[in-house]
Amino acid sequence: MRSAGFRRSRTRRTSAAALVTALALTALASCGTSSSNGEEDDSGSGSGSSDPSAPLDPKAEVTLSIDCMPPAAKAAELREWNEDIKAFGKIYPNVRINGKSTPGQCLEPPRFTAMLKGKSQPDVFYAYFTDLQQVLDNDGAEDISAYVTETSVPALKDIQPQVIDVARKDGKLYALPTSNYTMGLMINRKLFTQAGLDPNTPPSTWEEVRAASKKIAALGKGVAGFGEYSAGNNGGWHFAATQYGLGGDVVDASGKKAAFNDEKGKQVLQQLHDMRWEDNSMGQTQLLKWGDLQKRISTDKLGMFLAAPDDIAYMVQQLGAEYENFGLGPIPGGQGTLFGGNNYMIKKGSSPDRIKAAIAWLNFKNLSPGKGQFDWARTKKDQLPVGLPQPNFFTGRSKAADDAARAANATMPVENFKAFTDNPVQGKAEPPKAQEIYKILDVAMSGVLTNEDADIDKLLDTAEQQVNQVLANQ
C-alpha cells in the first residue's frame, strides 16, 4: 500500500487526492551549500573524475535537486534537514542542495507516475521499494552499482541484504535505502490488562489471537478485540501480510501466477469470518481503510491489529495517544512477514559528479549511524520519537551502535516492543503489481467481513482468475 500523510516510510497506503508539489526556500550560508527553490546546473561541473570508484572531488561544483524535504509544518524535521545540509557543506563546500517539499507526504502515486513519464523528477528522488519496475519502465534512474562501495557508503556491508537487493534488477543497483519496516501485531496494552491478558506476551498464533480477541470484546462498551482492513487496497495488503505469516505466498516464484488460492489463503479468510460472525469480536463496522484502526486503538476501542512500528508515532503525534499504551509482537504464525520501505534514486542522465554527490549526501543523511536520521540525541532534543524498533536496516557493528544510541535516547518504553524485537521474522517483499492485486483481494476480505454467508472458495477462485489476468498483462 501507499503512504498517506504522516507515514512517509511506507509503501502501503493509497491516497487518491492529487497533491501540489511546492518548492520550499531554505537557504543556508554554509560554505556555498544550501537548499533553495532554484533549478541550476543540470550536469555538475568542476575537476571531478569520471571514474566511479574515485571519491567526489571536494572542488567539484555540483547542484542537486532533492525531493521529500520536510515541509515547513514539520519545523523540527526541517531544522534537522537544514542542519545536515550545513554539516554536509563543510565536507563538500561546492555542492549545492535544492530541497523540494511536497505538502502532506513525500510521494503521491499519480503525481509520481506523471513525474516519471514527464521526466521531471529531481536529481535525487524518493521512491518506494515497489516502485523500481515502474521507474525502470520509464528509464528514470541511473545504475549506481559502480559508485556504491564501502568507500562511498562505509556501512554498506552492514545493511541488510534484502534491503539492498530490493533495489537491484538484473544485477544492477538503482537505489539506496532510507527506511524499512516489517509487519507485526499491534496491541492496546490497557485493554490487554483489563481483559486479564499479559501485554508483555502478545499472541503469536492465530488461535491465540482469536482467543484474546474474544476476551477483549467481552469488555463491552463498543470494544472490538481485533480489527482488519477491507477497503482502499488495504485489505489486500493485509491479506498478503497474513498469508506470509502463515508461510504462504501471493504470487509464485515466476511472478506470473497467483499463489494464494490454497489452504493458507482459505485460513486467512476463514479465521476472519469466524472472529467476525461466530465470536462477534471484530465489531459491526467494516469496510475499514488505513487510519480507521489507528483511531480506534488510540481511543481504547480496539485491542489488536496488524501494523508496523511507525503507526505508533503517528498515533501519538497525530491522534494524541500515549506511547505507553501500545505494544508490538511478531506477526501471528511467524513464518514470514511483509516488508517494505523507501529509498532514493538518481535521475537517469546524471553526470558522474552528480551521482557521486548524491551518494555522498544520501550516505551522510540516511546511512551513517550517529549522523543524519540516526542522530538520536538530536532527535530526542527536538522532541521527536526515539525508540521505535524501525527503521532498523543495519546488521553487525552498525546495528549494535545504532541500537545502543536509540535505547539511550528513547522517548518511549522500548520494553513494550521486546516481543517484536526479540523474535524477528524474515521479511518478504510485496508481490509484483501489488496495488492491482490488493484491490482484487479487497473484495475477498470485505466479502467475509460483511457477509456471514460468504463463499470463501468462490471468493478465492474469482480473485485468482483476476490476479492471473493482471500478471499476464505485465
State the SS3 of the chain. CCCCCCCCCCCCCCCCCCCCCECCCEEEEECCEEECCCCCCCCCECCCCCCCCCCCCCCCEEEEEEECCCCCCCHHHHHHHHHHHHHHHHHCCCEEEEEEECCCCCCCHHHHHHHHHCCCCCCEEEEEHHHHHHHHHCCCECCCCCCCCCCCCCCHHHECHHHHHCCEECCEECCEEEEEEECEEEEEHHHHHHCCCCCCCCCCCHHHHHHHHHHHHCCCCCCEEECCCCCCCHHHHHHHHHHHHCCCCCECCCCCCECCCCHHHHHHHHHHHHHHHHCCCCCCCCCCCCCHHHHHHHCCCEEEEEECCHHHHHHHHHHCCCHHHEEEEECCCCCCEEEEEEEEEEECCCCHHHHHHHHHHHHHHHCCCCCHHHCHHHHHHCCCCCCCCCCCCECHHHHHHHHHHHHHCCCCCHHHHHHHHCCCCCEECCCCCHHHHHHHHHHHHHHHHHCCCCCHHHHHHHHHHHHHHHHHCC
Confidence of residue 129 (pLDDT cuts 50, 70, 90): very high
pLDDT reported for residue 105: 58
For residues 165-172, average pLDDT: 95
**Average pLDDT score over the chain:** 89
pLDDT digits 0-9 by tens, 60-93:
999 999 999 998 888 999 999 999 999 999 999 9
As annotated, the residues of the chain forming the CATH 3.40.190.10 domain(s) are 26-181+341-408, 184-338+428-472
Residue 145 has pLDDT above 70, yes or no: yes
pLDDT digits 0-9 by tens, 260-284:
999 999 999 999 999 999 999 999 9
pLDDT reported for residue 103: 58
Lowest mean pLDDT among 29-38, 66-75, 296-305, 446-455: 29-38
pLDDT digits 0-9 by tens, 341-396:
999 999 999 999 999 999 999 999 999 999 999 999 999 999 999 999 988 899 99
Residue 460 has pLDDT above 50, yes or no: yes
Highest CATH level, class, for 184-338+428-472 = alpha beta
pLDDT reported for residue 28: 34
Confidence of residue 138 (pLDDT cuts 50, 70, 90): very high
Q: Provide the percentage of residues in the chain whose pLDDT is more than 70.
A: 89
Residue 104 has pLDDT above 90, yes or no: no
CATH architecture of residue range(s) 26-181+341-408:
3-Layer(aba) Sandwich (3.40)
Residue 31 has pLDDT above 90, yes or no: no
pLDDT reported for residue 42: 43
Q: Provide the percentage of residues in the chain whose pLDDT is more than 90.
A: 81
